[in-house]
Amino acid sequence: MSKRIYEHPVLRKVVEGIPNKFGSLKRLQPIATIDTVEIDSIISKYGSPVFILSEKTIRQTYRTAYRAFSTRYPKVQFAWSYKTNYLDAVCRVYHQEGAWAEVVSGFEYEKAIDNGTPGTHIIFNGPDKSDEDLIRAINNKSLIHIDHFDELYSILGLTDKLKERPQVAIRVNMDTGIIPQWDRFGFNYENGEAWNAINRILSSGTIDLIGLHIHIGTYITVSKAYATAVEKLAALANKTFDRFNVSIGYIDIGGGFASQNTLHGAYMPATDTSPSFDDYAHAITTAMIAADFPNNETPMLILETGRALIDDAGWLAGTVLANKRLADGKRSMVIDAGVNLMFTAFWYNHEIYPVHESSFQSEPTTIYGPLCMNIDVIRKNIDFPMMNKGDHFVIKRVGAYTMTQWMQFITYRPNIVMIDEKNNVHLVRKAEDKEVFRRQELVPEHL
């Protein structure tokens, strides 16, 4: 039997009224495996830290979301939001499940094509589309969602040079009761800009208006806001039909569904407060069915859900680097994954767990990342068990935006693996090394 590690005693103030209204404090249960694969074995093979994706969770979550909408509305199409996680392995899982691609740059557009997405199944959003991007999208008959008048004029300028008629929608922004109101993207509904854009498009005679698009924000916990958006878009569709005799083929309601990650300052855990896919689907499809679209038509309903589909499928495992006491005696712990890999730690209380039972004693602890940067805080002052240098931890729900917004700062970006449905582990993105930097950098001759 190995010698047990000494743990010094701590004095803790007894707080009256325990258990509190959520019950008594639960001991943090370690998480040793993901889809039956030992986290320790992944770290020993792929290094620390390491991102781990569960293909099973990606597919299951997608199917739950798809079912919620398709059982309530006849024509439903999801388009995977590339910027949320554009690893090819991830995108291909969604495409296999039937999702189209939703891209916001030429780079993402190229990735979608390379992942085998037909041009007609690519939705091209965003304020930054070069003429070259637009020409390619028009020739491929992709769905171009126009963000501003300058983009509309660029497209109009290209039509006489191209054989294909551009297939466009406009992005609309509006008051749906959500604060802050995102009005920097698309054309405003209330001040008449959206109607103005529709008039210009349809009076040109050279562009096809096939849909209306909105993306009201992100982490929207009020499902009713989507119903308001549907009502206003339906009004635009009706006005368009009355004036131009043109039917709108689809309503794209964007993304923005909240994931199960809890925001900083939230009183209750998001697992208790975030609406479910059924809640969102109920609000949106009820509004779609109630809206009087021209000729009693039912436009296709497109969804561009990002974070709510992938967050749960991503994990970040790593190693404890050190324990130390802060000036006031409070405990802190340093781990080898910081805000460089989890930008999302700035707004989420990411759940962190030991991989193995390390101590029966827990204490308020601040968990820092490894960066030489004061703001590199993963969790502030949480009740956490004692872990030792070299112990492994795992962080839950890091599938969304981490692997696309990560920063290369101070150290290399790590490996990403995916566990397939048969529980085999695949490397899906290699860790960076100094060769990556050698390839990119040039040194002037005099140096």
Question: Do residues 45 and 364 make contact, with C-beta atoms less than 8 angstroms apart?
Answer: no
Question: Do residues 333 and 384 make contact, with C-beta atoms less than 8 angstroms apart?
Answer: yes
Please classify residue 272 by burial: count the beta carbons closer than 10 Å to its beta carbon, then call 0-12 exposed, 13-18 middle and 19+ buried.
exposed
HSE-up of residue 207 (Cα within 13 Å, Cβ side): 30
User: Tokens 């990560």 map to which residue?
Assistant: 406
Q: Rounded to an integer, what distance in angstroms lies between the CA atom of residue 88 and that of residue 61?
A: 18
Taking the complex as a whole, the smallest distance from the CB of residue 135 to ligand PLP amounts, in Å, to: 21
By beta-carbon proximity to ligand PLP, the closer residue of 120 and 405 is 405
Residue 254 in contact with ligand PLP, rule: CB under 6 A: yes
Q: Vertex 37, ends 35 and 38: CA angle to 5°?
A: 130
By beta-carbon proximity to ligand PLP, the closer residue of 277 and 353 is 277
Residue 396 in contact with ligand PLP, rule: CB under 6 A: no
By beta-carbon proximity to ligand PLP, the closer residue of 215 and 331 is 215
> Which of 25-33, 59-67, 146-154, 252-260 is the region at the interface with ligand PLP (rule: CB under 6 A)?
252-260
Taking the complex as a whole, the smallest distance from the CB of residue 300 to ligand PLP amounts, in Å, to: 16
Residue choice 307, 350, 379, 429 for contact with ligand PLP (CB under 6 A): 307
Q: Rounded to an integer, what distance in angstroms lies between the CA atom of residue 141 and that of residue 162?
A: 12
CA distances, 400 to each of 157, 302, 315, 343 (Å): 37, 20, 10, 10
Q: Rounded to an integer, what distance in angstroms lies between the CA atom of residue 344 and that of residue 263?
A: 10
Write out the binding residues for ligand PLP, residues 40-99 only, by CB under 6 A: 81, 83-84
Residue choice 304, 312, 376, 391 for contact with ligand PLP (CB under 6 A): 304
Q: Which two tokens stand for residue 37?
A: 């694969």
Residue choice 46, 69, 257, 280 for contact with ligand PLP (CB under 6 A): 257
Q: Rounded to an integer, what distance in angstroms lies between the CA atom of residue 85 and that of residue 265?
A: 26
Taking the complex as a whole, the smallest distance from the CB of residue 21 to ligand PLP amounts, in Å, to: 31
Please classify residue 99 by burial: count the beta carbons closer than 10 Å to its beta carbon, then call 0-12 exposed, 13-18 middle and 19+ buried.
buried
Q: Which two tokens stand for residue 366?
A: 């601040």
* Strand stretches in 263-374, DSSP E: 300-303, 314-325, 331-335, 352-354, 362-368
Residue 215 in contact with ligand PLP, rule: CB under 6 A: yes
By beta-carbon proximity to ligand PLP, the closer residue of 168 and 317 is 168
| Exposed e or buried b per residue across 34-63, where buried means at least 16 C-beta atoms within 10 angstroms of its C-beta | bbebebeebbeebebbbbbbbbbbbbebbe
Residue 306 in contact with ligand PLP, rule: CB under 6 A: yes
Residue 232 in contact with ligand PLP, rule: CB under 6 A: no
Residue 331 in contact with ligand PLP, rule: CB under 6 A: no
Residue choice 102, 133, 151, 351 for contact with ligand PLP (CB under 6 A): 102
Residue choice 54, 105, 117, 125 for contact with ligand PLP (CB under 6 A): 125
Of residues 233, 223, 204, the one with CA closest to residue 279 = 223
By beta-carbon proximity to ligand PLP, the closer residue of 161 and 184 is 184
Taking the complex as a whole, the smallest distance from the CB of residue 167 to ligand PLP amounts, in Å, to: 17
Write out the binding residues for ligand PLP, residues 333-372 only, by CB under 6 A: none
By beta-carbon proximity to ligand PLP, the closer residue of 256 and 299 is 256
Taking the complex as a whole, the smallest distance from the CB of residue 63 to ligand PLP amounts, in Å, to: 17
Q: Rounded to an integer, what distance in angstroms lies between the CA atom of residue 233 and that of residue 227?
A: 10
Taking the complex as a whole, the smallest distance from the CB of residue 228 to ligand PLP amounts, in Å, to: 18
User: Tokens 């958006």 map to which residue?
Assistant: 229
Of residues 105, 127, 125, 101, the one with CA closest to residue 113 = 101
> Which of 1-9, 301-309, 316-324, 382-390 is the region at the interface with ligand PLP (rule: CB under 6 A)?
301-309
Taking the complex as a whole, the smallest distance from the CB of residue 193 to ligand PLP amounts, in Å, to: 18
Residue 124 in contact with ligand PLP, rule: CB under 6 A: no
Site size toward ligand PLP, by CB under 6 A: 16
Residue choice 49, 249, 256, 370 for contact with ligand PLP (CB under 6 A): 256
Question: Do residues 303 and 280 make contact, with C-beta atoms less than 8 angstroms apart?
Answer: no
DSSP secondary structure string for all residues of 29-61: PP--EETTEEHHHHHHHH-SSEEEEEHHHHHHH
Taking the complex as a whole, the smallest distance from the CB of residue 285 to ligand PLP amounts, in Å, to: 18
Write the binding mask 165 to 184 for ligand PLP: x where contact by CB under 6 A, - elsewhere. Answer: --------------------
User: Tokens 């300028």 map to which residue?
Assistant: 157
Which stretches of the chain bind ligand PLP, using CB under 6 A? 81, 83-84, 102, 104, 125, 215, 218, 254-257, 304-307
